[in-house]
Amino acid sequence: MLQQELRKSFCLLLHNEFSLFYHSNVDRKNRIMKKIHCLLLLLFFGSIVSAQSYDIVIKGGHVIDPKNNIDAVMDVAIGDGKIIQLANNIDAKQAKQVVNAKGMYVTPGLIDLHAHVFFGTEPDHYLSNGLVAVVPDGFTFRVGVTTVVDAGGAGWKSFPLFKKNIIDNSQTRVLSFLNIVGEGMRGGAYEQNMNDMDAKMNAFVAKQYKEYIVGFKVAHYVGPEWVPVDRAVEAGKLANVPVMIDFGGNHPPLSIEELYMKHLRPGDIYTHTYALLEGNSRETVVDTATNKVKSFVWEAKKRGIIFDVGYGGASFNFTQAIPAIKAGFYPNTISTDLHTGSMNTSMKDQLSVMSKFLLMGMPLNEVIKASTWTTAQVIKREELGNISAGAIADVAVLNLRQGNFGFYDKTGYKIEGKQKFECELTIKGGKIVYDLNGITDPIYVKNK
């Protein structure tokens, strides 16, 4: 404020001197010119000294940046949409906005690997331009998520519509696993139609939109055939991207050992890892008789199969997750399977799922890693999920609230915990997009 006042006074003085100049004789004109020079110089240097080098400085937060093995209290400076530096003490006076993050965690912007955001108003379109999907911006920033990957909502036929309606109109970064089914995730018979599972067309469209399409998705197929998985992997090979498998169901269930060892490649993703489906139509990773993680599941992880949570409405059971986490079988990636059917039941949101894994015994930095850096690597977007100097400034400021909290699953199995993640502030591309309690000073900046 003081600088602005001074600048105003200088400008007024200059204006006065210029007025005098025009009404003076030569001698006086020379004197006035000297004065004007001095004033201009003062104004120029004044503006250099007062120039602010950063858009945002986050002060005093506990930074967890798994890519760079940072787990310490540090300041973070942001400018021009990028991380400028991390240091023990960055001068807050040099920032347009200062975030007071004392007592909070500062992490890379979270990436939700499995969400359903192809919202639309077509009746009976399920998760592909239908009402069961959600608009991304309404559900992301408030939980620290800056990037969502839509898991198979769009197929190659509907991807241009998905891009036009959702990707191009969202502040959230929206990426896509293209459904192996050309019609996308329209539910019912559409997802059973093997004639609409064209590896070549999928790969063709994925290459055309490679900025957005990060892989292929198989979902909800019921039957003994391997065709949907194999077509997706074929498309994955053609486009050099991973596939994500929701293994559907069959009676008797298909072998997940065969899936991991014979059909998938290292880097391919098995979602709904901790699901125990009613009717036992899918094999589980934890043996329900012994409560032990099956030995070939450990082998599959070693082989490079990515185990994703994909919590969803019916795809997470504590009876699977608790023994797995106890044994150290952590998910590679933590994701929600967000849609209207999951968010209002036990899943809630990304932070609720992360809180459950923390409570089950997964270490805090592993929980953050599985929601940031590992996810970025899995989708081959290593410019995301980290806060290195020069990286895109996607940042989440999280509070680990203390209190009495209950966490339950779809069966009503409940565990109680004393802490729970809450999102205090989210920064996407260097801009504050969510601030729960107004911890930014000033809260709003014009022309930013």
CB nearer to Zn ion: give 59 or 217: 217
Query: Are 284 and 273 contacting, i.e. CB atoms less than 8 angstroms apart?
Result: no
CB nearer to Zn ion: give 56 or 151: 151
Query: Are 342 and 313 contacting, i.e. CB atoms less than 8 angstroms apart?
Result: yes
CB nearer to Zn ion: give 338 or 391: 338
Which amino acid is residue 391, in one-letter code? A
What is the x/- site pattern for Zn ion, positions 118-157, by CB under 5 A? Answer: ---------------------------------x------
Q: How far is the CB of 327 from Zn ion (least distance, A)?
A: 26
CB proximity list for 447: less than 8 A, separation 6 or greater: none
337 binds Zn ion per the rule CB under 5 A: yes
What value does the CA radius of gyration of the chain take, rounded to a whole number of Å? Answer: 27
Q: Which residue has the tokens 């797995």?
A: 324
Helix (H, G, I), strand (E, B) or coil at 361: coil
196 binds Zn ion per the rule CB under 5 A: no
CB nearer to Zn ion: give 118 or 260: 118
Q: How far is the CB of 220 from Zn ion (least distance, A)?
A: 9
Q: How far is the CB of 1 from Zn ion (least distance, A)?
A: 51
**CA within 13 Å, CB half, 217:** 32
Query: Are 422 and 351 contacting, i.e. CB atoms less than 8 angstroms apart?
Result: yes
Q: How far is the CB of 77 from Zn ion (least distance, A)?
A: 38
Q: How far is the CB of 148 from Zn ion (least distance, A)?
A: 12
Query: Residue with the closest Cβ to Zn ion?
Result: 337
d(CA 147, CA 376): 10
Q: How far is the CB of 114 from Zn ion (least distance, A)?
A: 6
CB nearer to Zn ion: give 191 or 337: 337
Q: How far is the CB of 72 from Zn ion (least distance, A)?
A: 36
d(CA 191, CA 189): 5
Footprint of Zn ion on residues 248-267 (CB under 5 A)?
A: none
Q: How many residues bind Zn ion (CB under 5 A)?
A: 2
Q: How far is the CB of 374 from Zn ion (least distance, A)?
A: 19
Is 9 buried (19+), middle (13-18) or exposed (0-12) by CB count in 10 A?
exposed
Query: Are 443 and 100 contacting, i.e. CB atoms less than 8 angstroms apart?
Result: no
Is 333 buried (19+), middle (13-18) or exposed (0-12) by CB count in 10 A?
buried
β-sheet bridge partners, residue 79: 82
d(CA 402, CA 160): 45
What size, in residues, is the chain? Answer: 448
Structure tokens at 90: 């960055």
CB nearer to Zn ion: give 309 or 351: 309
Which amino acid is residue 6, in one-letter code? L
CB nearer to Zn ion: give 78 or 132: 132
Footprint of Zn ion on residues 229-248 (CB under 5 A)?
A: none
Footprint of Zn ion on residues 348-387 (CB under 5 A)?
A: none
CB nearer to Zn ion: give 112 or 394: 112
CB nearer to Zn ion: give 77 or 269: 269
Q: How far is the CB of 190 from Zn ion (least distance, A)?
A: 15
Query: Considering Cα of 292, then 296, then 299, then 301, what sign does the dihedral take?
Result: negative
Rule CB under 5 A: which residues touch Zn ion?
Answer: 151, 337
